Structure 1
Amino acid sequence: MAAGRQRRAEAETFTARWKKQWHRARVGMRRSAVDYFRGDGSDWIALAGLLLTIPVIAATTMMNSVWCAPAALVLPIVAGGLLLRPASLLGLYAAAATALIVESVQLGPYTEGPSRVTPGVVLVVAACGFFGLLVAQFRNRVGVPWRRGGTMLFDLRERIRVQSKLPGLPQGWHREMALRPAGGQSFSGDFVVAARTNGGRTLEVVLTDVSGKGMDAGSRALLLSGAFGGLLGSLPPHAFLPAANGYLLRQDWDEGFATSIHLVLDLDSGDYELYSAGHPPGLQLSAGTGRWEEKSAEGPLLGVYDGAQFDPVKGSLRPGDVLMLFTDGLVETSDRDIAEGIDRLTGEADRYVAGGFHGAAWHLIEAVAKDVNDDRALLLICREGPTAQAAAARSDSARTDTARADTAQTDTARTTATGTSTTTR
């Protein structure tokens, strides 16, 4: 009896120890896998998996080289270029080269028949390995794993969009912004930062065009948008552009200049000041005359020299007036000067005077500079008059009536279906 209990205790102890070891191994592998796919851990799991696939592919090729050609070894090589570090990748390449040699010996010379290891197969595998090594070295130098590189770029793009979001305005005002990067890319050298200051009574908007375009200017645009967003509202309006100019000079970039336009708008009275740093002029539509007027402030480019002065131009938005700010990519090209571009922009904008400028920003970019290989940005600030407010109210009422009609139609259909079901019973 005592001997039986002892054997049972030993068995339970062995089972418990085995379960504990298995649990530790399972947790360790899971943590390693999670760290790897986050980009924080070792790549030994991926290396082990790819090393196991090489003999499987080689054995399948030697059994049936028609369905599994010798060139199938490029699959783990390509995957290794995406998953492994350069040092681990060299070990994978050595295993693939060994498998290729074994296949060539077992299948015989390529002159004796098809589905052999030919010089072309060797060149294809070697070329894939070379490009995979280049990708791995670039990824290792940047320090961003491929698994997180796309996520990081997506996060950067969303941060720029959030920083460029315009704050809501009180009733009687309308604002909208449209931004189109060069070449259909996700990043742009144009950006906007905006804030309601002075207890919400003042709107400050800064539209900036960084030197360069698209992806080339995206990193600098992200850095400047964060810095400008911190300065906006923390300094008096007249001190913003001098502070921004000093910030660019301290960066010591090779292409460290930028143009910028700073709007300070009193939402109660409609009076505004417009500061410019080498930026294209603003355009104001007067509801009384129906004409566009250029609002040009004086000031040099940002990041060129220290001690620059920026003198504002003043104006006022009356009910029905529109203020339009834009970057040079919208109005200036290699075969069109800025004056001609502004004339074309105002001509297209005149089409929206009668019906209002709701949704006009994106359509104006499409109409004026659709195929221009440059970043384009357009900002509209409208002080809505009685006509525009009535049109907006009619639009809201029409949407409400449509929704009510859809609801009533759905209820009627349900009632009819219920009555039909009752009659059937």
Structure 2
Amino acid sequence: MDAAYDDSRTATARSSGLGRRWRTTWRQGVVREYRLVAGLLLVTLAIVAAVVALPDKFPFTALMVPLLVGSLLLGPRQLEWFVIGVLVALMVTLLAQETITTRVVGATAVQLLMGFIVLLASFRRARLGVGGAMGESMLVDLRDRILNQGGIPTLPYGWHVESALRSAGGTPFAGDFLVATQPTGDERLEVVVVDVSGKGEQAGTRAMQLSGAFGGLLGALPPDQFLPAANDYLLRQDWDEGFATAVHLSLDLTTGGYEIRTAGHPPAVHRASGSGRWSVLGSEGPVLGLLADATFSCVRGVLGRGDAVLLYTDGMVEEPRRDIELGIDRMLGEAESLLRGDFTGAAGRLVDALGSPNDDRAMLVVNRA
């Protein structure tokens, strides 16, 4: 009972510490933002004073500088009032002009238009609740989390695993992602390569959510239960385009035995070092998120010394008006020439050599040295 009481006190203390830390961080952020507002207002007033004192020498269009900085750094609520303040300052500087020429009227109209555009942008940001720079940093952080979940854990000697990802058009967000984990105390590597419906930024938000969900499921469930659980999760989301394809590899790092299951995904391929031949591992299963109570067949095998397995998305093998089997044959031919005896940088080399730059592409290479 004493141990339970101590654990309860420890948990309470930890919760209180996290709460204090969050409140401190929030207060610091609020103070920093109000200091920024005050600084921008001082700059605006200084510009107004300079224009009133020297109307022929100091341009009143300088008011656009604090307006632009505010649009980048301020939150939606502060930005709305700041824009109104800048427009009021613009009217004051306009009255200070000795002569109202056509050029002055045109410059005023342009500044009013810019203020209106910034105001509209602040209304759109109100849905997110943060400023432009902060919102961008949040998206970058989410993207980095997806990439970090795709990081390969440290493996025992004799195993070489690497991955590569390229998004459509070179954008930083992609509908293809992979998640890898090595359950604690288990000599197994669990990897899933996923292709979310859509591509580029269109699929990026769904990929962010699925990456976190699949990462939790992958390490917590037995290999044969992962894809059914992922399918149930997607069905519960009720998205308009809520489907995805996936290939799941469960690898025993001691024996080299593996299990591969696919869900509407291009098949994995296995290279036997003894014969040098590639074989297609034809597991089957429906696309995730379309059918309830779906079942997924399993292909089992063993990776011997020098063997390799490739997992990839359809962007590596699909092109318009070309059968996917031809794309797989082309990929295997390219892999045979590029990876002959050397798997260092294999995933990156294959992704750069194959597929269309207008589609997301992902590749995972597993090699037993």
Identify whether the pair has TM-score above 0.5, normalized to the shorter chain.
yes
* Counterpart pick for 2:366 among 371, 381, 385: 381
* Counterpart pick for 1:262 among 248, 272, 291: 248
Structure of greater relative contact order (alpha carbons < 8 Å, 6+ residues apart): 2
CA contact (8 A) 2:74 2:131 kept: no
Q: Pairwise mapping of residues 388-407 of structure 1 onto structure 2 (< 5 A)?
A: none
Distance 1:344 1:50, change over 3 A: same
Distance 1:138 1:198, change over 3 A: closer
- What is the DSSP-based 3-state SS (H/G/I as helix, E as strand, rest coil) of the residue aligned with 1:143? coil
- The higher radius of gyration belongs to 1
Tell me how far 1:185 sits from its aligned partner.
Answer: 2.2
* Counterpart pick for 1:355 among 322, 341, 359: 341
Q: How many residues in Structure 1 have an aligned counterpart in Structure 2? A: 346
Distance 1:43 1:308, change over 3 A: same
Which residue is equivalent to 1:126? 112
CA contact (8 A) 1:82 1:135 kept: no
Separation in 2 of the partners of 1:365 and 1:136? Answer: 40
Q: Pairwise mapping of residues 125-144 of structure 1 onto structure 2 (< 5 A)?
A: 125-144=111-130
* Counterpart pick for 2:169 among 179, 183, 187: 183
Give identity over the alignment, percent: 48
Report the TM-score, using the length of structure 2 for normalisation: 0.84
Separation in 1 of the partners of 2:245 and 2:201? Answer: 18
Is 1:298 matched with 2:298? Answer: no
Distance 1:350 1:104, change over 3 A: same
Which residue is equivalent to 1:10? none
Is 1:204 matched with 2:194? Answer: no
Tell me how far 1:98 sits from its aligned partner.
Answer: 4.2
Separation in 2 of the partners of 1:169 and 1:46? Answer: 48
**Larger mean Cα displacement after TM superposition, 98-107 or 340-349:** 98-107
- Give me the CA root mean square deviation: 2.7
Separation in 1 of the partners of 2:155 and 2:76? Answer: 54
Distance 1:159 1:103, change over 3 A: closer
CA contact (8 A) 1:37 1:147 kept: no
Tell me how far 1:96 sits from its aligned partner.
Answer: 3.7
**Could you report, residue by residue, the CA deviation over 1:206-262 in whole angstroms, capped at 9, with x for unpaired residues?**
111111222222222222222222222422221211111111111111111110111
* Counterpart pick for 2:257 among 255, 259, 271: 271
CA contact (8 A) 1:100 1:117 kept: no
Tell me how far 1:277 sits from its aligned partner.
Answer: 0.4
Separation in 1 of the partners of 2:84 and 2:202? Answer: 38
Separation in 2 of the partners of 1:274 and 1:51? Answer: 61
Where does the alignment leave 5 or more consecutive residues of structure 2 unmatched? Answer: 1-24
Separation in 2 of the partners of 1:251 and 1:55? Answer: 51
Separation in 2 of the partners of 1:295 and 1:352? Answer: 21
CA contact (8 A) 1:103 1:117 kept: no
Separation in 1 of the partners of 2:191 and 2:86? Answer: 59
Separation in 2 of the partners of 1:181 and 1:136? Answer: 29
**Structure having the larger proportion of residues in helix:** 1
Tell me how far 1:118 sits from its aligned partner.
Answer: 1.9
Tell me how far 1:269 sits from its aligned partner.
Answer: 2.7
